[in-house]
Structure 1
């Protein structure tokens, strides 16, 4: 893998596919994709939303062994469930609500080809995390 970030939607999806392919070829535990901090919007609906989002940090998505892993707020979880409606092959396997932090950790079975996973990952960033259509994402761990 020779590049580790992308900004435009088509280039981001290609980066996701390349990162997933590299992860599988290397036999690594997972690949982590992370939005650039500059993409974060600071205007949330409520102070509670802003506090929870700040505690969860920069949006990220991990993929490994056919599973997508994300952290999100309860509101983002509702949006994630809507996005999942557009991807019938993807299902929530597990929801964890750690006591020490706000939010929920979601594990989603993703038994699909890298292109379909890439579409889903980009929808998570854009729709669930409400990032603009053009933002920088990094493959931070492969």
Structure 2
């Protein structure tokens, strides 16, 4: 593991919270979190799942099944709401924007649960902070 990746649930959430805090401190345009590619879950030709965060908005791409799981997950976070769904004709999925006003730890918990519950990762998946 490095300072920019983690595969233990507690360390992953700490990594995500630290990245969110750094994003806010630096006033960067966005931060990107990414899970390791798993061909069995993602398919051979599909990219690894990612989640972006900017200011108070999560941005992610999902298919129909993942969108249903995401809706259920957002229900667990009363201060979060899905604000925008975009499904361009040339795309196979939906881009989702979620307003999420909360502290870094709560945002980190949400991001981790997205990878676990929406993208189907196991508890020991490796996540990376790929951009801050």
Q: How does the TM-score come out when normalised to structure 1?
A: 0.87
Backbone CA RMSD of aligned residues:
1.7
Partner of 1:102: 92
CA distance in 2, matches of 1:43, 1:12: 20
The runs of 4+ residues in structure 1 deviating greater than 4 Å are: none
Partner of 2:63: 73
Give structure 2 stretches of 5+ with no counterpart: none
Partner of 1:16: 16
Aligned counterpart for 2:40 among listed residues 42, 48, 66? 42
CA contact (8 A) 2:19 2:31 kept: yes
CA contact (8 A) 1:41 1:131 kept: no
Deviations along 1:14-54, one digit per CA (max 9) or x if unpaired, are: 000110111111111000000012xx25168xxxxx59xx4
What number of residue pairs does the alignment pair up?
131
